[in-house]
Every structure is written in structure tokens, then in C-alpha cells.
């Protein structure tokens, strides 16, 4: 059972998330030969003030 963890900034619409997990599931089925029912996708939404790149918080950019 593949379990895929994804971290994204907050703010995506439910429809964007639906399309995203559908695409990830289809790619997983195609490349790993698993069934759609065996693929779990976990979305972790992160606030910009909790994410930094290059020593700078995204909320400061």
C-alpha cells in the first residue's frame, strides 16, 4: 500500500486538492502497478509562517 505524504502551503481549494490526489493516484498506479484503492495520499497544509527556504520565512517574502 503506497502512502504518499505531501506538504503544501494553505489556500488550495477542495477542487484543486481533488484533482491533485487523483493525478497522484493515477501516476502511482501506472508506475508502481498498485490498485487505486491501495494508494493513500495525505495532504499536510502548512502556514507560510511555518515554512522557510534559504533562511527566510515564506511569510516574510
**What residues act catalytically?**
2
Q: Which residues fall within 8 angstroms of residue 9, CB to CB, at 6 or more apart?
A: 45, 46, 47, 48, 51, 58
Sequence-ordered alpha helix ranges (H) in 1-61: 14-32
Amino acid at each position: 500500500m503506497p502512502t504518499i505524504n505531501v506538504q503544501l502551503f494553505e489556500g488550495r481549494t477542495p477542487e484543486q486538492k481533488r484533482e491533485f490526489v487523483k493525478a497522484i493516484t493515477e501516476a502511482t498506479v501506472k508506475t508502481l502497478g498498485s490498485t487505486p484503492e491501495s494508494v493513500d495520499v495525505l495532504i499536510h497544509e502548512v502556514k507560510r509562517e511555518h515554512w522557510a527556504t534559504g533562511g527566510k520565512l515564506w511569510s516574510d517574502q
